[in-house]
Structure 1
Amino acid sequence: MTLTLLQWMTLAVFAVTIVAIVINKLDATVAALIGVAVMVWMGTMTEVEAAQLVDWNVMAILIGIWIIAGYFGKSGVPSWLSVQSLKLSGGRPGLLILVLSMLTGILSMFIDNVVCILMMAPVALPLARALSIPATPLVLMIGFSANFMGTALLLGDLPPQMLHSVAGAEFFDFIWQYGRPSSFPILMVTFALTLAFMYLYGFRGIGKVSPEGAASIKSDIPDPLFATITCGIFLLTVAAMAMRELLGVKLGFIALTGAIILALVVELMSEKLKQPPSFEHIVQELDWRAILFYIALFALVGGLEKTHILQLMADAMKPLFAANFALGATLLYWITIPIVGLVEHDAYILTFLYMIRDLGAQGIPTWPLWWMVLWSGTLGSNLTIAGAPALYVALRIAEKEEDRKVSLREFLSWSIPFALVSSFICYVFGMLIWVLPYAQ
């Protein structure tokens, strides 16, 4: 694989930027933006091309869903759901952790994983205190679960939205595609089995059983009208996004429309609602640093695509997939797991989605590889906080609650079993359902 000077320089800038993000000595967003600026100045792309390489539809999806999630988080529904989880567990601490993890995973299919953690962890901690549950394993499981299930459907996290951008995957493709189950059923079964393993591994004997404590905790939704409006418009937005092809508009436009309608209804009905949040407050709570990071990420990977580096990588990998498709998919899956434990997984996944697209132009089946890299890139990122920044948020919440530093060894004692078991289960399903039928 012979590279030109510009290709070498582009690859070097991309690599240095990723290293800077991993080391975390410089803010990840700043590092990514600097990387884009350097590529522009050295001629990889013009500033106009850099903007055109960004998928603004995906950015609109993120902003729209985050605005709706901001209202949802203030509706009192997450707190109410957490208390229902406590009652469902019957005051059994280990079971409560599993139920809260499952609830978090389900919510993260529709809400960004960081938002989901910030929404669920604070309402789960009072329940943990009531049942004498250590905060660290509980909050980490909420973090793992939010990061895990965000890839099950199109709306929850950036990787599935990137698959929509690169491969054109629609909402129902994540449920059933080409006559076989895809992301949602496979990850849901994998998630349930992983939670069962974690229960046996570390939660079965944790804390103390307290049915009385569970019965004593109450939680009422402070403003049922506001909660009904928020949940109703949220569900209508999801339904409209599921019917995108019939509506004939972009997903980002649907998400922003739902957010605008919700904000308008809340503002118009503010006198009938009990202290509703202002639109200004909701917008201020958006993670604009993350949005800028994702914008820069598309431009960075676009630089590799524009200089045909990804095409050259695809050319180099083609013989392996052509000779033994199952072996190639296996190597891609298991090499991804440790890499995304150290490298921010969104950047890795986007890079390989483009590269697999280039492989497809050479006759290699793409969908099994797209699914395998999407799943391994998500599940493997649960290994460390370097792979999934959302876990950093969960870790800080746990440390603040227990007023101590959580050691790397303690973190890994939970993250490694969760990540490896879930990765193995998903690999088996992925190979049987997707890879082997294409390998024949």
Structure 2
Amino acid sequence: MADLNAFVTREEIPSTEEGPLSGRTVAVKDNISTEGVRTTCGSNMLADYVPPYDATVVERLREAGATVVGKTNMDEFGMGTTTETSAFGPTENPAAPGRVPGGSSGGSAAAVASGEADLALGTDTGGSIRCPAAFCGVVGIKPTYGLVSRYGLVAYANSLEQIGPIAPTVEEAAELLEVISGPDDRDATTREEGGRADYSGAADGDVDGLDIGVAPELVEGADEGVVEAFRAAVDDLESRGATVHEVSLPSVETAVQAYYVIAMSEASSNLARFDGVRYGVSGGYDGDWNESFAASREEGFGAEVKRRILLGTYALSAGYHDRYYAKAQDARAWVKRDFDEAFEDVDVVASPTMPVPPFEMGESLDDPLTMYLADANTVPINLADLPAISVPVGETDGLPVGLQLVAPAFDERTLVRAGSALA
């Protein structure tokens, strides 16, 4: 197979420990800190940055006996749906040559789909694990916010993102989730509810008596072939004893707009540290700090990152905060209420992971709005702080299709149970 450009840095980090992942190789997304191994976030801004410490999830991989085999390519700072905004070139989809692998964790999904790694870690701010899992025909889990430590993750949008597993099967993804989950004193957002549960033990494929909700708002408007594959998978679950109900999630119509206001606002704040002094490319210094700051960011950041910083700065500026950011937070609360009400009647909510099959390479680069709208089914879950899984459920015109299942907070075992019936 031709080089997919799935890795930014190929460097083995062996483990001397014996554990549940002994003999397994794991690829790590390049926004997760690895001691002594560069962590670029797919950006020129950090092209030479070498962290002095491991992220908590990397420590736990090594304690579990895993061998880290490198750092995977990604959309710059996690901002994208295609892994084409990376400063190190795009990654190709091994399951659909000539197509994107999804993003922003496209390198991790491509590495697993191609067999270059047994397992991988990605991060998910608005679908960045589930999108590439769906596009590459593998399994991806976005954990509940607070289940997995974010210590050592280079932040894009703190209130939305989580680290999670990508694997060939649901059981293997659950095994990796067991290793990386659990409270961490260095991350105050982790919760005691996020103890290291026996997730892989739930992968028994038994969905008898499971109540599955299908929301028309998350199905209507999707590509016809994607809907056909989704419906066939839901019918399969029903034939195995699950019960399917229609649920309503009217708030998801506002989710994409609310998500991008919140995410871009947090990006504007988080990325302010990359000023060429504390972190990043130096813009030179001739006595004018403002000119140096501007030059550093002009050289270090790509077009998509600049676009999101500018939009986020605008949304937070005086006179516009209440008009945009405050309203987006209200919409976020509405999304959470809708899901809470749905879970009074069902165990999980099912939808297509992505409303479209993988884009052709270059197709969405000149049309960022199309890229943003493709996140319509994934961003509501991040807004509501819920767990979700994407499992492969066939193809349309030879292109992979993923099914997304969403569960109540910290109920990853139900996701694994339901997902394992399909993958």
Would you say same fold, with TM above 0.5? no
> Higher RCO, 1 or 2 (CA under 8 Å, sep at least 6)?
1
Q: TM-score, normalised by structure 2?
A: 0.32
Richer in helix (by share): 1
Q: TM-score, normalised by structure 1?
A: 0.31
